[in-house]
Amino acid sequence: MIAKDDRATHIAKIVTGLTNPSILSVLLLLLIAFTKSSKPSGAAVWMAVIFAFYIFIPVLYVYFRMQASGIRSKSVFEIITFLKKHPVDILILSFVLGIPCLLVLIFLKAPTMLLAPVIALLAGSIITAVFNIFYRVSYHLTAITILVVMTVHTWGPAYLFLILTLPLIAWAKFHIRDHTIPQLVTGMAVALVISLITLRLLG
């Protein structure tokens, strides 16, 4: 029994690691920017903006924030874990970097296909961070649900099979006791509402 439980825990940790939303969200945005541009120069500019606002500047911010708190970071995953435990920092990054990133992409005439996931992920980050100040909601499942919806919206129904990852991730997060079932369900519900509103507004 113990061996089986250890194996299940190991699998659950692998699932949560492979579906890290902070990494997958950036990959999805870069892929959309690359595939939905009619000009390579346009794609390069949009990808540079995404890299700067989603990777370079946030990593620097969290690194110095951790140093100021006396925490030594050894990997990117530790930086991500730090953010999950500090929703106020997520709010700061959302307003200081997320909104300017969106405005820059709009100014650069990025396609709606790229703006939609940027808006949904930004709204998801803000709402989930506010929730987490008072009540823990799964940012992991919120972000992944948004990514699944936006992937299907971008490339079509052929990618509906990605929905099957959601219960798997929910099981993994519940098994390793990161979240309760209500926290997971709330995260998914928030993501679905945000995604549908975003797609509705953008037509």
Quick: pLDDT tens for 36-84.
887 888 899 999 999 999 888 888 888 887 777 766 666 666 666 777 7
- Spatial distance between the Cα atoms of 1 and 180, rounded to a whole number of angstroms: 23
* Model confidence at 116: pLDDT above 80: yes
Banded pLDDT at 1 (limits 50, 70, 90):
very low
Indicate the average pLDDT of the chain. 88
Kindly state the average pLDDT of the residues 168-183.
93
Least confident of 23-27, 135-139, 161-165, 179-183: 135-139
pLDDT of residue 4: 57
Of the pLDDT bands very low, low, confident and very high (cuts 50, 70, 90), residue 17 is confident
Output the pTM of the full model. Answer: 0.89
| Confidence band of 2 (pLDDT split at 50, 70, 90) | very low
Query: What's the DSSP call for residue 162?
Result: G
Q: What is the pLDDT of residue 48?
A: 95
Close Cβ partners of 25 (under 8 Å, ≥ 6 residues apart): 54, 117, 121, 143, 147
What per-residue confidence (pLDDT) applies to 26? 93
Element (H, E) at 110: none
Please, which residues have CB within 8 angstroms of residue 78's CB and are 6 or more apart in sequence?
Answer: 66
The rounded distance, in Å, linking the Cα atoms of 154 and 162 is: 13
Q: What is the pLDDT confidence band of residue 123, given thresholds at 50, 70 and 90?
A: very high
Q: What is the pLDDT of residue 90?
A: 86
Task: State the pLDDT at residue 41.
Answer: 81
Structure tokens belonging to residue 45: 């500019």
